[in-house]
């Protein structure tokens, strides 16, 4: 006979961590790092293409952490994530923490052209309808979202993966103020350039100016940054088509920059992005594993584990 209430049961036991198809690698690491119980979710397709979800864990009265990036196949991942989170609630989980290492649609956060959907608002409404307790995400574009907690209807934690990238670079190379500068490829990247520069020992940092002409094409200009004879660490949140980084490297090379270390949090790498980037012949090209890719050599799990320690 079970004498514990659901609340007491949740307090007495470790959380359960469950990974979706784009998050299981991180869920396993979190379970190993913090001793969380590892559950699983079965995701299948019905013959007509609809999504089937079944949770294999007794989540009633327990704190549950569900991890899934909304890439690759963003739309499929969204359905998988929302169905799983709602089912966790329905099965009586005490607290539900959604860890979404990569939040898709965050760049469509405004009506840039008349008639466009503000996609991230729609996605946020869907999350809100499930009312998870916490959402943890990594370097999400929040430039035009003042209050993500109220938009998503959950305590919202936007953590950074740049410190993990810096730790990796520091471990593998040595950088000095006289020979290396950190550059963000656009103004929005200043926050990441600043953190990277601090973590690499107080290097100088600056940003370039980017104008986007289409999803694939950008123009990059450099004003007020000095890179002649310097090695450059380029840091950005996302590499999608690779257009931004390719143009940034071209611009900086034309100004006399030497070697490049390219670091990004989310490696979406669509189409031939990886080969375009490799052709730049960087000293290193690295990303975290928020989205799995051939360059995802840095784990985001330690940063997520720290955030979860504070939340739980």
Question: Contact positions toward ligand R5P, by CB under 6 A?
Answer: 185-186, 188-189, 218, 236-244
Supply the minimum distance, in Å, between the C-beta of residue 5 and ligand R5P. 46
* Contact in structure between 72 and 22 (CB atoms under 8 Å): yes
Supply the minimum distance, in Å, between the C-beta of residue 212 and ligand R5P. 8
146 vs 213 by CB, closer to ligand R5P: 213
* Contact in structure between 194 and 215 (CB atoms under 8 Å): no
How far apart CA 25 and CA 185 sit, in angstroms, is 30
Among the listed residues 210, 217, 226, 310, the single catalytic one is 210
Beta bridge partners of 43: 53
Peptide bond before residue 195 is cis, with ω within 30 degrees of 0 = no
Supply the minimum distance, in Å, between the C-beta of residue 186 and ligand R5P. 6
How far apart CA 81 and CA 24 sit, in angstroms, is 12
Supply the minimum distance, in Å, between the C-beta of residue 166 and ligand R5P. 18
- Chain-centroid distance, C-alpha 260: 23
How far apart CA 101 and CA 288 sit, in angstroms, is 10
* Contact in structure between 299 and 267 (CB atoms under 8 Å): no
Known active-site residue 128: no
218 vs 298 by CB, closer to ligand R5P: 218
Label residue 207 left, alpha or beta by phi (over 0 means left) and psi (-120 to 50 means alpha): beta
How far apart CA 253 and CA 248 sit, in angstroms, is 8
Supply the minimum distance, in Å, between the C-beta of residue 226 and ligand R5P. 22
How far apart CA 52 and CA 240 sit, in angstroms, is 29
43 vs 239 by CB, closer to ligand R5P: 239
List the catalytic residues.
210
């Amino acid at each position: 006979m079970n004498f514990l209430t659901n609340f007491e049961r949740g307090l007495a036991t470790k959380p359960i961590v469950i990974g979706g198809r784009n998050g299981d690698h991180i869920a396993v690491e979190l379970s190993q790092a913090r001793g969380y119980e590892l559950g699983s979710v079965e995701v299948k397709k019905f013959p007509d293409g609809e999504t089937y979800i079944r949770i294999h864990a007794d989540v009633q009265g327990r704190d549950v952490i569900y991890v899934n990036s909304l890439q690759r196949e963003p739309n499929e991942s969204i359905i998988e994530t929302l169905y799983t989170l709602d089912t966790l609630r329905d099965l009586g989980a005490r607290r539900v923490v959604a860890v979404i290492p990569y939040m898709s649609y965050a760049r469509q956060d405004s009506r840039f052209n008349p008639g466009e959907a503000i996609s991230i608002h729609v996605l946020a409404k869907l999350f809100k309808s499930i009312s998870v307790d916490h959402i943890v995400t990594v370097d999400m574009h929040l430039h035009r979202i003042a209050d993500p907690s109220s938009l998503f209807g959950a305590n919202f934690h936007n953590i950074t993966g740049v410190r993990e990238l810096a730790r990796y670079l520091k471990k593998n190379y040595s950088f000095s103020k006289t020979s290396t500068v950190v550059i963000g490829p656009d103004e929005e990247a200043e926050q990441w350039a600043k953190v990277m520069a601090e973590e690499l020992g107080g290097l100088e940092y600056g940003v370039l100016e980017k104008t986007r002409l289409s999803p694939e094409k950008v123009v990059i200009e450099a004003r007020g940054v000095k890179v002649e004879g310097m090695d450059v660490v380029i840091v950005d949140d996302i590499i999608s088509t690779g257009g931004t980084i390719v143009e940034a490297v071209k611009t900086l090379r034309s100004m006399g920059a030497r070697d490049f270390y390219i670091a990004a949090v989310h490696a979406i790498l669509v189409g031939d992005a990886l080969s375009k980037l490799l052709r730049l012949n960087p000293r290193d090209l690295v990303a975290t594993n928020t989205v799995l890719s051939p360059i995802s050599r840095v784990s985001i799990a330690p940063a997520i584990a720290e955030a979860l320690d504070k939340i739980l």
